[in-house]
């Protein structure tokens, strides 16, 4: 049985188009894996087909103890852990939870360029309630962009503009301190 102590989410860089095979192999080694997929339509000369493609081309997320990472590295198709040099860098749990919420919601999502600037918003209603991201407008609809900082990649999910409110820096910094001081 795998060691369940000190588990962290990390990203594995994998060979192109091998994400699904790597995810299956990780599962077979009892390593928790997360491979977010999205529906994409591709046109061939004679037909249009809907495919399930990785939201993050070339990457698979897994949760493991960094002291026991060799089983993941020995899987065919795995290139390396994402990190600094040979040291994997854990991904923030909140970023993985946010991505899992998007996938569970069933709302249309797609890969999106990584953004560092823009208005940060919080979803107030619906299946993505309490998630924070950057609000964009594209093709006549609003999208919430969620990012995985380590990979410098983002995902956009369609949201109703009326369900989001701006996040003020005071809400994230001063409010918890103010609540703690007031006994809440």
- Report pLDDT for 118: 57
* pLDDT one digit per residue (tens) for the chain, 184 residues: 455 679 999 999 999 999 999 999 999 999 999 999 999 988 888 999 999 999 999 999 999 999 999 999 999 999 999 999 889 999 999 999 999 999 999 999 999 766 444 578 889 888 999 999 988 887 778 888 998 999 999 999 998 877 888 887 544 444 444 333 433 3
HEC-encoded secondary structure of the chain: CCCCCCEEEEEEEECCCCHHHHHHHHHHCCCEEECCEEEEEEECCCCEEEEEEECCCCEEEEEEEHHHCHHHHCCCCEEEECEECCEECCECHHHHHHHHHHHHHCCCEEEECCCCCCCEEEECCCCCCCCEEEEEEECCEEEEEEEECCCCEEEEEEECHHHEEECCHHHHHHHHHHHHHHCC
| This prediction's pTM | 0.73
């Amino acid at each position: 049985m795998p060691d369940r102590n000190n588990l962290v989410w990390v990203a594995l860089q994998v060979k192109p188009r091998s994400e699904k095979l790597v995810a299956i192999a990780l599962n077979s080694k009892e390593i928790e894996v997360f491979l977010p997929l999205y529906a994409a339509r591709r046109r061939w000369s004679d037909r249009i087909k809907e495919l399930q493609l990785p939201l993050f081309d070339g990457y698979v997320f897994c949760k493991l103890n960094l002291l026991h990472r060799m089983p993941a590295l020995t899987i065919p198709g795995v290139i390396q852990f994402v990190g600094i040099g040979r040291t994997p860098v854990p991904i923030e749990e909140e970023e993985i939870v946010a991505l899992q919420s998007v996938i569970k919601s069933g709302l249309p999502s797609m890969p999106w360029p990584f953004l560092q600037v823009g208005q940060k918003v919080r979803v107030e209603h619906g299946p993505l309630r309490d998630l924070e991201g950057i609000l964009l407008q594209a093709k006549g609809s609003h999208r919430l962009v969620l990012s995985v900082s380590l990979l410098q990649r983002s995902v956009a999910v369609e949201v109703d503009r009326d369900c989001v409110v701006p996040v003020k820096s005071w809400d994230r910094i001063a409010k918890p301190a103010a609540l703690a001081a007031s006994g809440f």
